A and B are shown apart, each in its own frame.
Chain A
Amino acid sequence: MAKQINVALIGNPNTGKTSVFNRLTGLNQKVGNYPGITVEKKQGIYKYGRGRKVHILDLPGTYSLNASSVDENVVIELLLNKNDKDFPDVAVVVADVENLKRNLLLFTQIKDLGIPTILAINMADRMKRKAITLDVQLLEEKLKTKIALISSRKNEGFDNLKDLIENYATLSTKPSLNASRIAPEYFDRLRKAFPQQDLYKLWLVITQDVNFGKLDRQEFKGIASFKTESVSNLKRLQQKETVARYQFINETLKETLHIDVENAKDLRSRLDRVLTHKIWGYVIFFGILLLIFQAIFDWSSYPMDFIDTTFASLSEWTKTTLPPGDFTDLIAEGIIPGLGGIVIFIPQIAFLFLFISILEETGYMSRVVFLMDRIMRRFGLSGKSVVPLVAGTACAIPAIMATRNIENWKERLITILVTPFTTCSARLPVYLIIIALVIPDDRVLGIFSLQGLTLMFMYLLGFGAAIFSAYILDKVLKIRSRSFFVVEMPNYKIPLPKNVLITVVEKTKAFVLGAGKIILAISIILWVLASYGPGSFNDAESIVRQQFASENLNEEEIAMHVDSYKLENSYIGKIGHAIEPAVRPLGYDWKIGIAIVSSFAAREVFVGTLATIYSVGSEEEETIKNRMAAEVNPVLGTPLFNFASGVSLLLFYAFAMQCMSTLAIVKRETNSWKWPMWQLVVMSAIAYVVALAAFQFLK
């Protein structure tokens, strides 16, 4: 069997690498992480000939081989390491025909590494409109390569590209230009010291320290002596190198590429005049945010309700169909609701990524960064952080996944860490019931409802907490990241439906397979803790019957009291009792303690748990509210839910990391348990202290 061909797709951002990748592999792709870092690794396979395979790696976009971010570093580490199992037999450099000059810089660098290289000039469909003509044959000759002129949009030129890949062995591995002439004496010395090594590779190893990465220098013993050059000398050489490459490219393109400048005034400048306008730009962006918000808050609720009822009836059906017993309970009450708890997120994730991928595809996202940079950078956030922060108001899960689009790791990490502070929709039922209970139904100035204002304050508080902690984290976190800012503003494009679809499917899959396992495991654990207990738990029925023997209750009422008794004596009930001393200073009793512990499954569970403990059969808000109003604080003798404890509880829910699904997704997105645990501890501590202070001050 012939060995498989390893192909690496390399290119500047926005040249259409991912579109080419999607065309070549279809849905036959796998997205993972590079080990130890959080850069996305996309690989796929297609077959040719008699079952022979081509393995394709879609590398992160990079402008050159001088890395200035973790993403870009991935490309260099791979290209300098012949022993990597993904080391390419052939590199396909994807270029945009409209940005050929800049795209060729990277191409000439890759050629210098001596790797067989194909130049895939993408977006050929745009040539006619832009009046671009290209002498492909002459360009091939000048660059010493083979060119495939392709269009991912029209699906043209891919047969040619596949042919070139198949015959990669015939490609020239000579450099396009001699870049070492910028400092002949220096490079001569280098060549003599390492006769076995590729000169450009040596140069990269020497200069990477100046830039970003750490390369394994085992094979380059003694190279340190070449660093005697001062850093600023090396930098000057790099500048000279870049200028030399551009000179070569300019000369080459002068003879081969012709662009009719008359067509320069185009759609782009007209759209930019509005979309990046000082006023209209923000109005439009705000409108788009509103639309996204509407989609994940409102439109998603229909499929979510459907998922909710479907899983509920599935659970019901299982219980009536299977023989009663522990195993059936596990399936019907543990596993099925646990799965439902994963599936329920899919509509929001799908909607959010539908919008985000359209915004990215059209090129609009770069305009968002342009508009928001000034405001967001003060808090250590990226212009792109706005989308996750707003989406977090519906749900932190899709919001945190949306941070993938932030290129800078520090800005991305900060966004991930602070997003859970924003008021997600699961907090709403908790807020509503407590506000109704402890905030008077008065009006301020005769117009504004005090309860409504309180709710608004809770939203502002969440947002404020996010922004404020971002500011702190920016000062505290010591993460090396690119300190300067330069963003390319790509051409506006109509999104490719295939790209959008693949993004949505990919994100959903990543959530279900990545975070889903953890969510399912924790929800089963929580269910077991709530459904089993030591000692008297198992005699709940007879104990309750005895207790209420004189009261003449009907079967339904008995059953409610049994449930309540069971919950109190379950393991979770024991935990609630155990933590009572800790939560009493906040104004809570053990029942609230239980509700807080079990609402770790999802915040809104708080209300349902209280309903069970208070033996009120329905989750009707009025009934629970009346029952809660009647509760008495065992120590103080005052109503348990008064102004002080209510405010304390509101604040606790505003700040606490009360959501296992969020922890699971943070684990996935940061590729370690360190950050979610950090979040859990710090957020809980803040919540505890603030709630404690509020209660002690107000009581």
Chain B
Amino acid sequence: MLTIASLKKGQRAIIKEFSVDVVPLKLLEMGCLPGNEVHLVQTAPFQDPLYLNINGSHLAIRRETASKIEIELI
């Protein structure tokens, strides 16, 4: 399964539909919505947390959360 956690620096992807049971609502509210484009800006050591740009929203999330959000590369 391809998720945000497997994204490499410079790659672009589209977020697929996900269920709120695994992804917190807050993330949605901060702009991480299905259909939005995401790319990886930077990772901290040990690839955690991840610094993302999602349609212009700049967010840092932990690897654990990122691995629950499926994507499709473009």
Specify which chain B residues have a CB less than 8 angstroms from the CB of A239 in the assembled complex.
Answer: 20, 25, 28
Please tell me if B48 contacts chain A, counting CB pairs below 8 Å.
yes
Please tell me if A23 contacts chain B, counting CB pairs below 8 Å.
no
- Complex contact B45–A278 (CB within 8 A): yes
How many interface contacts (CB-CB < 8 Å) are there between A and B? 106
- Complex contact B56–A272 (CB within 8 A): no
Specify which chain B residues have a CB less than 8 angstroms from the CB of A370 in the assembled complex.
Answer: 42, 44, 49, 51, 60
Specify which chain A residues have a CB less than 8 angstroms from the CB of B59 in the assembled complex.
Answer: 486-489
Please tell me if B12 contacts chain A, counting CB pairs below 8 Å.
no
* Interface of A: prevailing SS: helix
Closest to B34 in A: A243
Taken together as a complex, chains A and B put the C-alpha atoms of A495 and B46 apart, in Å, by 32
Please tell me if B65 contacts chain A, counting CB pairs below 8 Å.
yes
Specify which chain B residues have a CB less than 8 angstroms from the CB of A105 in the assembled complex.
Answer: 29
Q: Taking A239-B25, A272-B41 as contacts, is the C-beta distance between A485 and B51 under 8 angstroms?
A: no
- Complex contact A488–B58 (CB within 8 A): yes
Please tell me if A246 contacts chain B, counting CB pairs below 8 Å.
yes
Q: Taking A236-B20, A242-B25 as contacts, is the C-beta distance between A486 and B30 under 8 angstroms?
A: yes
Specify which chain A residues have a CB less than 8 angstroms from the CB of B2 in the assembled complex.
Answer: none
Closest to B41 in A: A272
Taken together as a complex, chains A and B put the C-alpha atoms of A370 and B25 apart, in Å, by 21
- Complex contact A486–B33 (CB within 8 A): no
Taken together as a complex, chains A and B put the C-alpha atoms of A239 and B18 apart, in Å, by 10
B8 to chain A, nearest CB (A): 15
Across the interface, A246 reaches (CB within 8 A) one of B33, B41, B44, B65, namely B33
A29 to chain B, nearest CB (A): 29
Please tell me if A313 contacts chain B, counting CB pairs below 8 Å.
no
B41 to chain A, nearest CB (A): 6
Question: Interface residues of B toward A: which range?
Answer: 20 to 34
Taken together as a complex, chains A and B put the C-alpha atoms of A277 and B51 apart, in Å, by 11
A271 to chain B, nearest CB (A): 11
Specify which chain A residues have a CB less than 8 angstroms from the CB of B20 in the assembled complex.
Answer: 232, 235-236, 238-239
Please tell me if B11 contacts chain A, counting CB pairs below 8 Å.
no
Taken together as a complex, chains A and B put the C-alpha atoms of A494 and B29 apart, in Å, by 27
Specify which chain B residues have a CB less than 8 angstroms from the CB of A487 in the assembled complex.
Answer: 49, 59-61
Taken together as a complex, chains A and B put the C-alpha atoms of A276 and B50 apart, in Å, by 11
- Complex contact B65–A242 (CB within 8 A): no
Please tell me if A373 contacts chain B, counting CB pairs below 8 Å.
yes
A418 to chain B, nearest CB (A): 23
- Complex contact A101–B41 (CB within 8 A): no
- Complex contact A366–B60 (CB within 8 A): yes
Across the interface, A374 reaches (CB within 8 A) one of B26, B44, B61, namely B44
What mask results when residues 3 to 34 of chain B are scored 1 for a CB within 8 Å of chain A, else 0?
Answer: 00000000000000001110011111111011
Across the interface, B24 reaches (CB within 8 A) one of A99, A273, A484, namely A484
Specify which chain B residues have a CB less than 8 angstroms from the CB of A232 in the assembled complex.
Answer: 20-21
Specify which chain A residues have a CB less than 8 angstroms from the CB of B34 in the assembled complex.
Answer: 243
B68 to chain A, nearest CB (A): 10
- Complex contact A369–B60 (CB within 8 A): yes
What mask results when residues 247 to 281 of chain A are scored 1 for a CB within 8 Å of chain B, else 0?
Answer: 00000000000000000000001001100111000
Specify which chain B residues have a CB less than 8 angstroms from the CB of A469 in the assembled complex.
Answer: none
- Complex contact B31–A485 (CB within 8 A): no
- Complex contact B58–A374 (CB within 8 A): no
Specify which chain B residues have a CB less than 8 angstroms from the CB of A425 in the assembled complex.
Answer: none
Please tell me if A371 contacts chain B, counting CB pairs below 8 Å.
yes
Q: List 6 A-B contacts (CB under 8 A).
A: A66-B26, A68-B26, A239-B28, A242-B33, A489-B41, A489-B51
B contact set with A: CB distance below 8 Å? 19-21, 24-31, 33-34, 41-42, 44-46, 48-49, 51, 55-62, 65
